[in-house]
Structure 1
């Protein structure tokens, strides 16, 4: 296994305070919380990529074009906006 690498990031002061408070509550280091956040983000992104790939595959098999999906999404967003008004 490779040695850990040090990475410097900048976060807003409020976020840094929240992370520090949470780390203290959990008895963990700030680095552990940032590592966990990065892992969760990457897993979530990978999962969404799988979901979109699946949807694209199903759409292709059903003969639904990307433009059809985009139009359906726009129509649904307009309908939701109109219902809120």
Structure 2
């Protein structure tokens, strides 16, 4: 059974040329270059989603800035 899935991707000519040149300079295949770009994009999106959730939670708790976070941490430590 195949370990990978093959996709066909369309790129504007200028982007394709830059990607090919970058792959050559980095001595990697175009596939690996695209995989790395997609890994980084997916990690960035995951981080942005976590930040968004955390921001909503902070808003619900009345946290408006970092000093409020420090205050909450200090209060929690004193309660231990």
Which segments of 5 or more consecutive residues in structure 2 lack a partner in the other structure? 65-80
Q: What TM-score, normalized by structure 1, do the two folds share?
A: 0.69
4+ aligned runs moved over 2 Å, structure 1 = none
How many residues are matched? 63
Asked if 1:42 is matched to 2:42, the reply is yes
Q: How far apart are the structure 2 equivalents of 1:29 and 1:57?
A: 42
Q: Distance in 2 between matches of 1:63 and 1:31?
A: 44
Distance 1:23 1:9 in 2: 16
Q: Which has a greater percent of helix?
A: 1
SS at match of 2:61: helix
Decide which structure has the larger Cα Rg and report it: 2
